[in-house]
Amino acid sequence: MMLPLQIPSDAWQTIKVVACIFHGSAIATTSFRLGYRLCTSKFWWEDAWAAIALVFDIICLFGVWGEAPTFDDDPRVYTVMFWLIPIAFTSVLWAARMSTIYPVLRVADPRGALRWTVYAIISCFAVMWTALVIQKVLTCVYHGCNIGSDVAIADLVTDAVSDLMLVITPMYLLRDVGLTHHQRILVTSVFCASLLTTAISIPLSILLLLAPTSQAALIFGHVKPATSLVIANLLVIVSFVYRYMRNSRADLDQPAATRAAEFSTFVDLDQFTMDRNWSIAQTSSVATCTVVSTQV
């Protein structure tokens, strides 16, 4: 049987404020990202995953109000919240990771075995996502959604493994990509930011083991998925700021061939103009010589 959370009203106010700040930031950055992608006609698979994460994050934001003590009198609301919120938290996190790993396929554009390695990592993410959702559903069925040590340990292990993959894979695949020194630092830093999720997951797992219904555990529970979604949006936002500051047409999250093509287009046009002027000059010179020789 599910029991209401015994948390004072003033503590809930703190939880609401923190949740609104972090989820609000995640929703705002994701909305900007999706709008920017649609306006530039560059909407791709990672943006679809970001949209899925956005839907679940909105559910998480609503959940912080639905979990509040004011809803204790309505068991139906409590039942829905306790079933939906754990699934939503997990889904935001893993949809955001999907959105983070997919740009590697475009930026690095790996071939052969390396590309299949990225596909294998994506499949591992899907398996871990599904396993964690099933585990939490079974926890709600048999233990009233009371998170135990098995769930906390599973979350910590999968977070550590997946975040390491999100750091190591891009750093390895981007080593031969045609990026400048500053571009490489920016892109690598964005992917390394995934370790923040693990940094949040460690204290959260400890809290879930020691005090799963404490104020701190609930705060970290909301901060973790929201932070992962903001991190998933960083590459697009950094790319937008880079274009604006550098007055450049190239995106950092586009394939190197695309960036080179955009640059070479201007060079080729200039070269074409020079060749055309040279050709016209040669034609005029030949025509003049022909007329002079005819007159003579």
Residues spanned by the domain of 213: 9-254
Task: Say which residue, 10 or 217, is predicted with more confidence.
Answer: 217
Q: What is the pLDDT of residue 250?
A: 52
Same domain, 269 and 154: no
Q: Quick one: pLDDT at residue 18?
A: 92
Domain count, the chain: 2
Q: Which positions ≥6 away from 225 have C-beta within 8 Å?
A: 26, 56, 57, 60, 88, 89, 92, 93, 96
In-domain check, residue 96 = yes
Q: What is the pLDDT of residue 278?
A: 44
* Position 247, amino acid: N
Q: Given pLDDT bands bounded at 50, 70 and 90, which one contains residue 240?
A: confident
- Please write the tens of the pLDDT for every residue from 148-199: 788 889 999 999 999 999 999 888 888 877 777 777 777 888 888 888 988 9
Q: Longest C-alpha distance within the chain, in Å? A: 112
- Does residue 71 carry a pLDDT above 80? no
pLDDT of residue 127: 97
Taking 60 as the threshold, does the pLDDT of residue 269 lie above it?
no
Between 181 and 262, whose confidence is greater?
Answer: 181
State the Cα–Cα distance between residues 242 and 236, nearest whole angstrom: 10
What is the mean predicted confidence (pLDDT) over 211-227?
A: 88
Does one domain contain both 223 and 128?
Answer: yes
Do 126 and 34 reside in the same domain of the chain? yes
Whether 167 and 296 map to the same domain: the answer is: no
Residue 110 sits in the same domain as residue 216 = yes
Task: Kindly state the helix (H) or strand (E) to which residue 49 belongs, with its residue range.
Answer: helix 45-66
| 80 or 48, greater pLDDT | 48
Higher-scoring residue by pLDDT: 78, 87: 87
Q: In this structure, are 140 and 261 located in the same domain?
A: no
Q: For residues 74 and 198, state if they share a domain.
A: yes
Write down how long the chain is.
Answer: 296
281 and 175: one domain?
no
Give 192's Cβ-side CA count (13 Å radius): 9
**Which structure tokens are listed for 230?**
């903001």
